[in-house]
């Protein structure tokens, strides 16, 4: 009875952390270890963060909506003056 519970818990934790959108890619079926939570997930071989941790991190990014971004050339011209 314990074995089924452990398996069900592992699968329930595994699926939301994986990237189903990577499955069609040639290198999209790798088992990766998340560098933040140390859970295993399936995704492209170059992914380092599981989907759950990625979504949590996106919530904490600064809001760049109102910020002005200057072009490098504009910034360089201002420094010359």
Break the chain into its structural domains and give their ranges: 2-60
- Please give the C-alpha separations between residue 16 and each of 11, 55, 61, 72, 81, in angstroms, as whole numbers: 9, 11, 21, 40, 54
Phi then psi for 8, rounded to 5 degrees? -65, -40
pLDDT at 21: 92
Positions in the chain short of pLDDT 50: 1
pLDDT at 37: 93
Half-sphere exposure of 65 (CA within 13 A, CB side): 1
């Amino acid at each position: 009875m314990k074995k089924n519970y452990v398996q069900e818990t592992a699968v329930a934790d595994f699926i939301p952390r994986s990237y189903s959108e990577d499955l069609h890619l040639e290198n999209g079926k790798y088992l990766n270890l998340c560098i933040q939570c140390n859970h295993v997930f399936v995704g492209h071989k170059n992914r380092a963060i599981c989907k759950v941790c990625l979504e949590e991190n996106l919530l904490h990014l600064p809001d760049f909506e109102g910020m002005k971004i200057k072009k490098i050339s504009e910034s360089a011209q201002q420094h010359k003056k």
